[in-house]
Amino acid sequence: KQEVTQIPAALSVPEGENLVLNCSFTDSAIYNLQWFRQDPGKGLTSLLLIQSSQREQTSGRLNASLDKSSGRSTLYIAASQPGDSATYLCAELDRDDKIIFGKGTRLHILP
């Protein structure tokens, strides 16, 4: 059974620091990988999508990388701000349209 793991489950960092969130997956036939943000009591917002043929994607202060051979993806957040506090989820999609989510990393940026 395919699995997606996110470590750590929670993370607190001071404002202004750069940080990395980790995601690992077991599916070697991954089609794409997505990073989402979830604010308390709200739905998910898509942040970045990396196709299996790509190595990374960037949007503003966010950069996501994908290494299929090692089964890992990272989300890099530069110059963190209190507004970045949220839960970040990664999800891998296989070619049969089956999507599997990680349990998320709860990020708290300390002012």
Cβ closer to other proteins: 95 or 108?
95
User: How many residues comprise the chain?
Assistant: 111
Question: Per the structure block, which two tokens stand in for 84?
Answer: 């970045």
Question: Per the structure block, which two tokens stand in for 54?
Answer: 């790509």
Residues facing residue 11 across a β-bridge: 107
DSSP-derived letter for residue 17 is: -
User: Using CB under 8 A, which residues numbered 72 to 91 contact other proteins?
Assistant: 89, 91
Q: Is 49 in the site for other proteins (CB under 8 A)?
A: yes
**For residues 94 and 2, what is the distance between their CA atoms, to the nearest angstrom?**
10
Q: Is 22 in the site for other proteins (CB under 8 A)?
A: no
Question: Per the structure block, which two tokens stand in for 108?
Answer: 């708290």
Number of residues forming the site for other proteins (CB under 8 A): 24
Q: Is 43 in the site for other proteins (CB under 8 A)?
A: yes
Cβ closer to other proteins: 76 or 101?
101
Task: Summarize as ranges the residues that interact with other proteins (CB under 8 A).
Answer: 31-32, 34, 41-46, 49, 51, 89, 91, 93, 95-104
